């Protein structure tokens, strides 16, 4: 059985939509899928290999949905998505709900994809924007380390969605840094952020996105209170561990086909605690050449 099938099997589908939610399994903790696709009537059959041109050949409904983005209808749909995540217990924190309501996912999902369905979506370059339940879970896990004035590093920042959420949480006195190794995605994420509620933070300099190899972190602004890695590493990159502040937390998927979302806490004395939060499926944290060859 493929890992995707395994992950999807125990998940509940929302009665009112194709919302796919984290589920409880008997053998491990929760299972989440950041990569697999829900059986939405509007979702695309294949994942990461879709080119952006392909994404423009879309069902008229999806064109309309994109047209609505930024309107009050988009706001209502984004709020509806957050409500679903609250209802299913993925979002527990008021702060996380607020930030996900403020940063409209529709501004970060490429045209032609249903932005408000709880599923990952292709963003080109063999990458995906993670599913909303994954974004919500990571924000929940990191919330205490995203207090105003703190520093957050988002490795594999892709569309910039989570980097924008981090920036809103740490505020203008904090720092949120996105690292993405595909320059075109860096440009895409900057455009997206500029359309979002986080635009003033980008302009003010507390939010930035850089084209670089995220496995090396971003030493210039280390140490970080929060590190999020949005792609699966075969092992925890030592540079990221080093750049984590004592008292800080890193959330990182680790593994190849079967991956665990690991929560790495650096204690004040520098010792490390690691626990597995969930079984997940992410695109690999790799070299640019390997990713584009996939
Ligand atoms: N959190 C992002 C996830 C994007 S998918 C979002 O929801 O939009 C994972 C991203 O990691 C991809 O954009 C991919 O290009 C990037 N990535 C993979 N390996 C990387 C590396 N070594 N350095 C930086 N980015 C990397």
Tens digits of per-residue pLDDT, 232-271? Answer: 999 999 999 999 999 999 999 999 989 999 999 999 999 9
Compute CA distances 253 → 36, 138, 156, 213, whole Å.
15, 11, 12, 17
Q: Active site includes 29?
A: no
Q: Is the pLDDT score of 138 beyond 70?
A: yes
3-state SS assignment for residue 133 = helix
Q: What is the mean predicted confidence (pLDDT) over 41-53?
A: 31
Token digits for 207? 């939010």
Determine which one of 33, 38, 119, 130 is catalytic: 130
**Alpha-carbon span 276 to 10, nearest angstrom:** 18
What φ, ψ does residue 192 adopt, rounded to 5°?
-60, -50
Among 113, 132, 158, say which to mutate for ligand 1: greatest number of ligand atoms within 8 Å of CB: 158
Q: Which of 103, 109, 156, 166 has the most ligand 1 atoms within 8 A of CB, as the residue to mutate?
A: 156
- Per-residue pLDDT, 75: 82
Q: How confident is the model at residue 57 (pLDDT cuts 50, 70, 90)?
A: very low
Q: Is the pLDDT of residue 54 over 60?
A: no
Backbone phi and psi for residue 252, each to the nearest 5 degrees, phi listed first: -150, 130
pLDDT at residue 48 greater than cutoff 80: no
Residue 11 pLDDT level (bands cut at 50, 70, 90): very low
CA of 157 to the centre of ligand 1 (A): 5
Q: What is the mean pLDDT of residues 4-18?
A: 28
Mean pLDDT for the chain? 82
Ligand 1 touching residue 252 (CB < 6 A): no
120 lines ligand 1 (CB under 6 A): no
Q: Hey, what are 275's tokens?
A: 């626990």
Lowest mean pLDDT among 11-15, 55-59, 246-250, 268-272: 11-15
Order of strands, sheet of 23-24, starting from the edge strand that comes earlier in the sequence: 23-24, 30-31, 272-280, 259-266, 244-255, 224-229, 151-155, 175-180, 207-211
Q: Which of 19-33, 67-81, 211-225 has the weakest average pLDDT?
A: 19-33
- The answer, yes or no, to whether any atom of ligand 1 lies below 6 A from the CB of 189, is no
The model's pTM is 0.82
The model's confidence at residue 275, banded by pLDDT at 50, 70 and 90, is: very high
pLDDT at position 28 over 50:
no
Does ligand 1 lie within 6 Å of residue 228's CB atom? no
Distance 182 CA to ligand 1 centre (A): 8
C-beta 156 within 6 A of ligand 1: yes
Closest ligand 1 atom, residue 154 Cα: 1
């Amino acid at each position: 059985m493929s890992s995707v099938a395994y992950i999807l099997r125990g998940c509940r589908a929302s009665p009112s939509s194709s919302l796919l939610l984290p589920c409880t399994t008997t053998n491990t903790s929760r299972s989440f899928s950041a990569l697999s696709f829900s059986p939405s009537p509007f979702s695309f059959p294949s994942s990461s290999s879709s080119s952006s041109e392909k994404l423009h050949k879309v069902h008229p409904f999806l064109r309309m949905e994109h047209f609505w983005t930024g309107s009050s209808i988009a706001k209502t749909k984004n709020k509806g998505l957050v409500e679903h995540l609250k209802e299913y217990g993925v979002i527990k924190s008021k702060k996380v709900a607020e930030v996900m309501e403020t940063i409209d996912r529709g501004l970060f999902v490429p045209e032609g994809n249903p932005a408000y369905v709880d599923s990952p979506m292709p963003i080109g370059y063999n990458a995906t924007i993670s599913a909303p339940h994954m974004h919500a879970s990571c924000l929940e896990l990191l919330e205490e380390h995203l207090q105003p004035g703190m520093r957050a590093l988002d490795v594999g920042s892709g569309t910039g969605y989570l980097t924008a959420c981090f920036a809103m949480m740490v505020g203008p006195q904090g720092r949120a840094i996105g690292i993405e190794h595909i320059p075109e995605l860096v440009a895409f994420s900057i455009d997206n952020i500029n359309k979002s509620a986080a635009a003033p933070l980008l302009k003010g300099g507390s939010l930035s996105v850089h084209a670089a190899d995220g496995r090396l972190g971003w030493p210039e602004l280390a140490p970080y209170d929060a590190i999020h890695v949005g792609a699966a590493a075969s092992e925890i990159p030592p540079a990221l561990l080093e750049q984590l502040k004592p008292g800080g937390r890193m959330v990182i998927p680790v593994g190849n086909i079967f991956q665990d979302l690991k929560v790495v806490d650096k204690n004040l004395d520098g010792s490390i605690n690691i626990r597995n939060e969930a079984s997940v499926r992410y695109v690999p944290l790799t070299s640019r050449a390997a990713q584009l060859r996939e």
